Amino acid sequence: QLQLQESGPGLVKPSETLSLTCIVSGGPISTDTYYWDWIRQPPGKGLEWVATVYNSGATYYNPSLRSRLTTSVDTAKNRFSLKVTSVTAADTAVYYCARRRPTTVTTGYFDYWGQGALVTVSS
């Protein structure tokens, strides 16, 4: 059974960088079939797609956040990561990592999700 687990600091100061890692178990991240994505959910609000990474290292970002995002993959350690720079209170959210069944390199639906990691931006 595939499992995803996010890890990272729960509190980040404004203007600093948020860093999260998603560890994948029960299946290889190097598969050609799926993409690996980040989705966030501000407290009490809806879901927002953030970024995606493929096993080759190819990345794609939500245009609204692109200038502040970096995502990467480590196939040897079966994990992928997200960095968000210059964070503000608006970046406070539960960040989920998820596996995506692709219809294109940037679209598709999400069939496995991590439990989520709450990241609060506050001084």
Residue 84 in contact with residue 69, Cβ under 8 Å? yes
In this complex, which beta carbon is closest to another protein, that of residue 14 or of residue 47?
Answer: 47
In this complex, which beta carbon is closest to another protein, that of residue 33 or of residue 123?
Answer: 33
**SS3 (DSSP) at 64:** coil
Residue 13 in contact with residue 121, Cβ under 8 Å? yes
Cβ neighbours for 89, distance < 8 A, ≥ 6 positions apart? 14, 121, 122
| CB atoms closer than 10 angstroms to residue 123 | 9
**Considering the rule CB under 8 A, would residue 43 count as an interface residue with another protein?**
no
**Considering the rule CB under 8 A, would residue 110 count as an interface residue with another protein?**
yes
Q: Are strands 11-12 and 117-121 parallel, antiparallel or unpaired?
A: parallel
In this complex, which beta carbon is closest to another protein, that of residue 75 or of residue 102?
Answer: 102
**Considering the rule CB under 8 A, would residue 80 count as an interface residue with another protein?**
no
Shortest Cβ 113–another protein spacing (Å): 4
Applying CB under 8 A, which of residues 104, 120, 121, 122 lies at the interface with another protein?
Answer: 104
Q: How many residues touch another protein (CB under 8 A)? A: 23
CA distances to 62, 81, 84 from 66, rounded to whole Å, are: 6, 15, 9
Shortest Cβ 15–another protein spacing (Å): 25
Chain residues binding another protein by CB under 8 A are: 46-49, 60, 62-64, 96, 98, 101, 103-104, 106-111, 113-116
